[in-house]
Every structure is written in structure tokens, then in C-alpha cells.
Amino acid sequence: MTDYTPVEMMTVAASRVLSSTDVCFAGVGPPSEACNLARVLHAPDITLIYESGTIGARPCVLPLSVGDGELCETALNTVSVAEMFRYWLQGGNISIGFLGAAQIDRFGNINTTVIGDYRKPRVRLPGGGGAPEIAGSCDQVYIIVRQSTRGFVETLDFVTTYGHGKGGSSRQDVGFSTAGPTLLFTDLGIWAPDPETRELTVVSMHAGVSRDQMAATVGWPIRYADHVEETPIPSGKELEMLRDLHARTCAAHQIHK
């Protein structure tokens, strides 16, 4: 099957790395979408955790907010937000934090706070929410975001969520013992940190994507792995399940596209 969008490719690629043994803290939007696609495709026993306190949520439709009733109704258990952040997250019980981003830099640091100066912002974004501590306390972090020159910037306007800092050993130097961002999924490819410099490096490009396209959507000179793979295109089953999930979600939330 070849009829798919770059965003569908992004979601499918992200879903493939998740498995039934993962305990995954899912941000709402594209991260939650990839996690639930994995759950209905090949990871039926994945534990999905949302910051509203729901543990083991199995939503039939994608949540519009982290606090949707669907998450609580399908979860194994729902705890308070304080318990979620203190015991389950900070206590070291979550293997993957799956985040989105407004701005990201080459070391996987994320800005979701402001565009411009913090005290006099050009655009006031929502802020950190759970992300700063999710990125600190989960064993590793996956990020999913579409590439654009506005989003993939040389220098962040604000560091909301720490990734690999300025690269090298910076993450350990500021006191983290967790791995931080290990995979970045975009509409054009898959990135992973270089083992030494920790700079995000392109390890796979989606079918039909050129290096010119990559360069035109990223605000820094891109580094490529020695062997850049081509991401396998979505299977018929993957696309069918993703589109079913979308159709159910739109019907439930009365969204008319």
C-alpha cells in the first residue's frame, strides 16, 4: 500500500518500537496516538500511563485531553496526580516517556513554554506540564514531532524540558541517571543520539524523502548516521488500524473533518 501521508508514516514508525512489556507515560496528541496504535496492533499488553493518574488505560478512542473519562473508565487504576508524579514517575517505575514538542534542538532539548522572551513573549505556549519530570525520571524518552524550520531550531527560546543539554556528558553532569531522548520520530525520518556527542542523528529516512527535504525543514546542519536506513512503508494493516482509530475518535468527539 503506498497511499499514506507523512504524518501517518510518522505515527506508524513510532508505534513499531513499542511492545507489550513497555510501561509508557503518554503525552496527549501524537504520542498517545502512536502508543494506542501499538496497543491495537502488536502490543496488546502495553501499560499506558497518563498524567491525570490513569494507570493501564485502554482507550477505544483517542483522548482529547489527558483527563478524558475514557482513560479512567478503561484503566486498571486511577491515582491522584500527586501519587502519579511522586510514586509512579519519580519512584522509577516507568520505562518510556513519550513526548511531543513545539521547538526542539539538535540535542533533543524541548521548548513548550514561549516563543521570544519569557517576560515579554511573542507567543505564550502552554508550558511544561508533566514533561520536565517525565523526561528526567523515565528510563528513556521518545519524541514525536513534525519537522519544520520553526520547530527544529539552532537555539531554543526557552529550555522547558532537558534532553542531552549541550551534548557529550552534559546530561550526567547536571545529575541525571536516566538515558533521556533515545529516539525522535518525525514525518520525514527517525533520529537517534550519536553515542559520543549525543547530537540527534538521522538513522532512517521515510520512503521517498530526500536529504534536500530534510535540510529544508531543520534549522541546523544535519548529521546523518554512516548507514541511513529507509523506513519500511506502512502495511495495509497498520494503515487500516490507524484510520479506524481516527474514525472512532472523530465520531466520539463529534469532530467533522
Partner 1 sequence: MTRVAVISLDEAIAEYVFDGATVAFEGFSHLIPFAAAHETIRQRRKNLTLVRMTPDLIYDQMIGMGCAQRLVFSYAGNPGVGLLRRLRDAVENSWPNAVEICEHSHAALANAYVAAASGLPLMIFRGYRGVDLPRFNPEIGKVSCPFSGEELAAVRAINPDVTIIHAQRADRSGNVLVEGIIGMQKEAVLAARHAIVTVEEIVDDLAAHANACVLPHWILDALCVVPGGAHPSYAQGYYRRDNAAYREWDSIAADRHRFQEWMNENVLEQDHTVFASRAIASREGHD
10-29 positions binding partner 1, by CB under 8 A: 28-29
List active site positions: 51
- CA separation for the pair 20, 97 (Å, rounded): 15
Q: How many CB atoms lie within 10 A of CB 228?
A: 15
Q: Is 52 in the site for partner 1 (CB under 8 A)?
A: yes
Answer for which of 17, 64, 192, 233 binds partner 1 (CB under 8 A) is: 64
Stretch binding partner 1 (CB under 8 A), from 7-15, 40-48, 164-172, 229-237: 164-172
78 binds partner 1, rule: CB under 8 A: yes
Contacts of residue 63, Cβ cutoff 8 Å, sequence gap at least 6: 28, 32, 50, 70, 71
- Is 126 a binder of partner 1 (CB under 8 A)? yes
Beta partners for 26?
A: 98
| Position 36 contacts partner 1 (CB under 8 A) | no
89 forms part of the interface with partner 1 (CB under 8 A): yes
Cα–Cα nearest to 143, from 95, 191, 177, 213: 191
| Binding flag, residue 175, partner 1 (CB under 8 A) | yes
157 contacts 219 by C-beta, under 8 angstroms:
no
Query: Which lies closer to partner 1 via its Cβ, residue 204 or residue 249?
Result: 249
Contacts of 172 (CB under 8 A, 6+ apart): none
Beta strands at 23-26 and 47-49: parallel, antiparallel or unpaired:
parallel
242 burial via Cβ count (<10 Å: 0-12, 13-18, 19+): buried
Give least dist CB 189 to partner 1, A.
26
Report, in Å, the least distance between residue 133 CB and partner 1.
4
The amino acid sitting at 132 is P
Identity of the residue, 17 or 115, whose beta carbon is nearer to partner 1 in the bound complex: 115
| Min dist. Cβ of residue 232 to partner 1 (A) | 31
Among 26, 66, 138, 245, binds partner 1 (CB under 8 A): 66
Task: Answer for the pair 69, 257: CB distance below 8 angstroms, yes or no.
Answer: no
- Write out the DSSP string of 143-212: EE----TTTB-SS-S---B-SSTTSTTHHHHTT--S--EEEEE-SSEEEEE-TTT--EEEEEEETT--HH
Contact with partner 1 (CB under 8 A) among 4, 25, 85, 142 = 85
Closer residue to partner 1, CB minimum distance, 66 or 190 = 66
Nearer Cβ to partner 1, position 144 or 203?
144
> In angstroms, what is the minimal distance from the CB of 20 to partner 1?
25
160 touches partner 1 by CB under 8 A = yes
Nearer to partner 1, 22 or 133 (CB): 133
